[in-house]
């Protein structure tokens, strides 16, 4: 079996785990959008930049309601998640010009969920050749922009595509 090493995830693994749900807290915070990197608020879900991205522009679509299990999502939440995924693929294409996307959920800790108690959908832009030697040999993941830069680019693209 081939092993895949992701040393850039160590910051997340080692970070102190809060006593509260970070997604519920972010979803409830209507005053500090920039600080939380929330890029869009829908009726049932919000869209936020991942603080520990796999790639530049990695967003998550999260229901406001604290929900751990996929099968408990109501039809409106699930529908809005998919509609927002479709919308933000266009936004991310405008902002970053990726060659493709990974879209998915990690359901449960054993499936790779970093925050397993609040379901969320990942939308990860991908580029040809974006898997290079740096993560393997240097223990470093290269992102061409920081979170603030990605946030600004997404907000500009959201305005341009709306």
Q: Catalytic residue positions?
A: 120
Q: Which residues contact 86 (CB under 8 A, 6 or more apart)?
A: none
User: In the numeric block, which tokens belong to residue 114?
Assistant: 């970093």
Q: H-helix or E-strand containing 116?
A: none
Query: Which of helix, strand or coil describes residue 106?
Result: coil
The residue behind tokens 């998915």 is: 104
CA distance 140 to 114: 19
- The angle formed by the CA atoms of residues 15, 71 and 83, to the nearest 5 degrees, is 80
* Residue from 113, 102, 116, 117 nearest 54 by CA: 102
């Amino acid at each position: 079996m081939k092993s895949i090493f992701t040393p850039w995830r160590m910051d997340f693994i080692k970070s102190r785990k809060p006593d509260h749900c970070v997604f519920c807290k972010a979803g409830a915070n209507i005053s500090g959008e920039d600080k939380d990197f929330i890029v869009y608020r829908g009726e049932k879900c919000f869209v936020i930049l991942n603080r520990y991205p796999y790639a530049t522009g990695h967003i998550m679509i999260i229901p406001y309601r604290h929900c751990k299990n996929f099968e408990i999502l109501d039809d409106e939440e699930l529908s809005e998640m998919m509609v927002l995924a479709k919308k933000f693929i266009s936004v991310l294409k405008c902002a970053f010009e990726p060659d493709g996307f990974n879209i998915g959920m990690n359901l449960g800790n054993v499936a790779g969920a970093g925050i397993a108690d609040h379901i969320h959908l990942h939308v990860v832009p991908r580029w040809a050749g974006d898997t290079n030697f740096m993560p393997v040999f240097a223990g470093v993941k290269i992102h061409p922009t920081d979170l603030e830069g990605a946030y600004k680019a997404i907000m500009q693209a959201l305005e341009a595509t709306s």
